Every structure is written in C-alpha cells, then in structure tokens.
Amino acid sequence: MKKLSTLFSPVTIGTMKIKNRIAMAPMATDFAEGDGTVSQRLIDYYEARARGGVGLIILEVCTIDGMSPYIPRTVGIWDDSFIPGLKSLADAVHAHGARIIPQIAHPGPESLAPLFNGSVAVGPSAGIMNNLTRMKCREISVPEIGDVITQFGEAARRAREAGFDGLEFHAAHSYMLAGSFLSALRNRRTDDYGGDLYGRMRFPLEAIRAMRDRAGKDFPITMRLSAEEQVTGGREIRETEYIASLFAEAGVAGFHVSSGVYPDLSWRVIPPTGTPFGLNVKSAAEIRKAVPVPVMVVGRIVDPGMAGDIVRRGEADMVVLGRALLADPDWPAKAEAGAWDDIAPCIGCGLGCVRNRESGGDMTCIVNPAVGREAEMEIGRAQKKKKVMIAGGGPAGLEAARVAALAGHDVRLYEREAAPGGQFNLAAVPPGKQELCKVTQYLFRQAQKAGASVSLGAEVTPGLVAEAAPDVLVVATGARPRRPSIPGADGGNVFTAHEVLAGTVDCAPGKALVIGGGMVGCETASFLANTGDNITIGRTEVTIAEMTDAVGADMFSEGRELLMEKLRRKEVRVLTGVTVKEITADGALVEGKDGEEAISGMDYIVLATGAEAVDSLSAAVSGVGEVHVIGDAREPRQVLEAIREGSETGRKL
C-alpha cells in the first residue's frame, strides 16, 4: 500500500487554497427544486461529500439562462433570487473545510427548452440534434451571443456573492454552448465566431473576459476541456495544448481534463465497466507541460493508490472523482486513513447514477442507496436488538446483513453455495466485467466486519428456522433462469446463459444461437463469440434472436455502446423483432415482420430469457415475527433494486 502524502498535500488554484488534491466531479442530480433553487436534499448530498474529506467540490451544471434549462430540476444561477440558496450550500460545504465552485454553462443545443417552453434551442450552427429531445437547434445570432456573454458575466458575479470559491467554465465534449463553439465538429460558422481555430475560440474567450470583469480577476476560473475528441475531424491533443495555453493567458486559473464528445463517443465521457482506469491521465500530463497553471484529471480514477501515483508522478495536480464519490462519500477520509478495504467500490456500471435518472427515477448508486437520501438513510442504532436470520448471501442478503449488524442486531446469514455473491458472480464472467466481483467482496467483508455471522455451504430450511427461532427472517434466495414455454426448450443442446457463464456445460467452438437480447444475452454472446483469427481458440459464430426492436435496451447507454462495438467486432449476427416459435435440433423457427424464418446449423442454443424468483421459504415458516422477502426472491430485477431493498430492510428492522 503506497503512501498518499502527496495526494493529501494542499494545492492552490489562483487564489483558492485547497486542503488536498481530490476534487468531486460535476454530475447532474435533479436534486434541486423545480424552479432551480437549492433544496435541502441537494445540500445534504454535497455536505456528505464535504464531510467525507474531499478537497474541492465542483458543483453540477448551474444554468445561466432560465429559458434554457439543462435538466428538469437544474440548479439555477440566472437570477439574484438564487443567491441565498447557493450561499446556504456553499456554507454547508465550507463548514467541513472543503472548497466549492459551480460549473457554469449555457446548455445551448443540449437545452430542454423545446420541452419546457416550446422555444427552439440555440447552437453555434443550425441542425445540431439534442439526443434527448430529438430536436434540432437553430443558429444563434451575433446579438444573441452578446446577450449570453452578459449572462455568463452576471452568473459569475452571483457565484462570488453566494460565497463560492471560484467557478468552472464548461467547454468540453463538443457539448453545450461553449463546447459546441470550440469544436469544429459542431461549429460550422463563417463569421468571426467560426471558420478557424481563433474564430472558434472567440466565444469562450469573450465569456471568460465577461466573467473576470464581473466577478473580479482574483476570482479563479477553471475550465473543463476535452484533451482529445477522438472522432474524425475532432480536436487532437496538440491543438488542445495550444488552445489551453491561450486560455491560460486569458486568465483561466486551472484546467479540468476530460476527453471524448457527445453523443458520438459518450463512453469516453462517462467510461463504463471494463474501460481503462485513469484513461485521461496521459493527455492531462501533456497539457500540464503546456500551461503554467494547475491541471485536474477525471476518468475512472477509483483506486487510492492510482490517484496518489498520478499526483506523485506529476501527471496532474489534482484527481477528479465522480461516481467513486457517489459509491462512497467518505472515499478521501478512508484513503487517507489507509482503510482502503472499507471503501465502497465504484464499478462503472452506470445503473443508478445515469440510467436510473434518465429512466425517470432518482439518481442513486448500486452500492450506496443513500445517494440523495443522506438524511433519511442514516444508519442509527436500533432501539431493540433483534435476532435476524438471513437466507441467501447474494448482494441483497449481504447488504441487509451489513446494515442490520451496523444497527446493532444479532445477524446470522446463511448461503447455500460455498462462496457468497449469488448470481452476481456470473455477471463478472463476460469480457470486461471482472471488476463486478469487487461489489460482492466488499459487501461480504463489511457484513462480517459489522458483526454479522456468515455460514457458507449452509441452506436455510424451515427446520433450521424453527431451531434458530429468529425474531426476523429475511429471504434473499435469489432467482433461477427461466425456461420459456417454447416447444423444444428442453432439448439436449439447449442451455441457459447461467449454465454457460458458470462453466457447467461444454460449449466448444462452433455455432450458437442466443435467444434473448437483453444485457445477459448480449454479454453471453460476447463471451462465446470469436472470429477465429486466433486459431488456438477457434471460431464460434453467434446469432442473437430478440423479440423487441433493440438489443441491450436494459443497459446503461455508455456500457451498451461499448458492448455493441464488441458484438460487431466479433461478427455477432443480431436479429431483432423476431419471436421464437420453436427450438429445433439445430436451431429455431422464428417469426418476424417478413414472416417465418428457419435458423439452422446451430451446435447449441442458449436461453437468456429472464429469471424467476426462488422463494420456497417465506410461506413454509411459522412463528417468526417478521418475514421480509427481498431482491430477486421477491421479483427478478437488477442488482440496483436488490441492494436497495437489502439496505432499506436492514434499516427498518
């Protein structure tokens, strides 16, 4: 375990003195009020990260134009009426010794204005499509550019009056208004605000000048930049080094280095499970050589040792943690104390922090259901100590055991298999998913550390329940693969994805048909497929048959983007909108919009057709005061719901 003295040394950005080298990335929450004012929920969320030891919090996007909201419950900074709420937030963060700066932006093409007030979003050039509204923007006029520049200046003034320590100017990812102007991918103007590098820089330079004029030249401005856009026609590192030096001359006090563009390469912006750790570090190191101001770097920095190494080697002055601080607000404090095993791991799944929010739910985290519920989900000591028996050591059962033990209950967990984790262990088998096992390891370790007794290779039966006589029984026995009622589904060459990933069946190189194109089916297909370029492995041709119009629809979008790329590279054939009518000896008969089609020549068929709950216990026991059925035993879903239910159950006992 490396020493982290450099990571926890102070650093200065402009006039802002920061106690350590760890910053929190700006992440949209939707925790503000509907009118843009700061809510108590938002304060609790950020205060928890400040209390956890982070040096600098970069507040999520604060919108400078009330007619152009970025998200439904955007944080507003377009009017002086927002100052008191923003000041309350800044004060709460400052109370724990952290600094806080708002990320200020005009959403431009990414504005939700068409949905909220019927107006058309603006961009540097016409025709840029918003990937959420599916509507195209119009070109902003020169007089309107002047108005927006004024809005930036006034927003900076409000940030200072609210007591913030500086601000961040978002100009990355060929995204929102400033980033769109700066990128040749979106800026197709032929006037003074486009045409060449200096034209594209004019808008952000004028915005910087206005912010410095209104907030004061001693009020530090950091700038988020994509070091490399990494698509054809996009900006490369050498150009970014040069423009960063010009922005530094214009008064930018520090840079926040990211990469990629929206929406073409969004996985670089929010890198999912299986992508490289510290994927922007090399680019940040190059930019750091080109500018005389501090450089921060973001992108899959989850390990304290790596974070410390980045700073120690001089590759960046600060590391920026995003989802890692959702998973564990106390990451900095635990890292400094050397309690690395106690840090709740971020695995980059995106299920709670991105997909759940974009699907209409709350921003959350699979390993930390308390995100956005910090006050509500605080674990207190139980008024009455109970004897708690938990059947099942998957994620739901382990989390219930951890929380109940922390609350002071006598907790005994039993897992039928020889290792904890349940079906989640199989989720770590496909290519690029191995880090998922960190969740099981963490929960198992923390449940025991909290005081829960764990018995492996021990199944809970009604007799064991009667013998143990618990006050509470928690049934977390998971689910099993569902075999559909399709003729031929019980054939000798028909296996479940569960069996394939567990390695209990022999799937030699050949041809395989995967029935079901959700996340499990697609990842199993990726696990099986091989083009045969490596003659030692041999070729396995895989076909996916999915009844809906899209495969991987239940996935985090950035993770899906990468998985689809893998399937294309491995030459997996994908059939959508088809219903399997019958499984035959060497394939299946499917029906689509063009009628029936016979898929033949298959060596084996893999079923990825969902799961069914396993609960033979809750109805078979008697004399137990409380019985709770949680996770997949209640209803097969994803790990997000399983851990949340385990956490909530452990708290309410």
- For the annotated catalytic residues, the residue numbers are 175
Q: Is 251 helix (H, G, I), strand (E, B) or coil?
A: coil
Q: Residue 174 carries which DSSP code?
A: T
Quote the CA–CA distance of 31 and 372 in Å, as a whole number. Answer: 7
Strand-pairing partners, residue 297, are: 257, 319
C-beta of residue 265 within 8 angstroms of C-beta of residue 234: no
For the range 530-535, what are the long-range contacts, defined as Cβ-Cβ under 8 Å and sequence gap of 24 or more? Answer: 530/570, 531/569, 531/570, 531/571
The answer to whether the CB of 169 falls within 8 A of the CB of 223 is yes
In the chain, the N- to C-terminal Cα span, in Å, equals 38
Q: What are the two backbone dihedrals, phi and then psi, of residue 483, each rounded to the nearest 5 degrees?
A: -95, 120
Of 55, 62, 63, 48, the residue nearest 24 (C-alpha):
55
**What secondary structure does DSSP assign to 476-495, as a single string?**
---EEEPPPS-TTTT-TTEE
According to DSSP, the residues that pair with 319 across neighbouring strands are 22, 297
Helices 40-51 and 83-94 cross at an angle (nearest 10°) of 20
Local structure of residue 341 (DSSP, 8 states): G
Q: Is 241 helix (H, G, I), strand (E, B) or coil?
A: helix
Here the tokens at position 506 are 């022999």
* Distance in angstroms (rounded) separating the CA atoms of residues 240 and 263: 20
Amino acid symbol at 33 = E
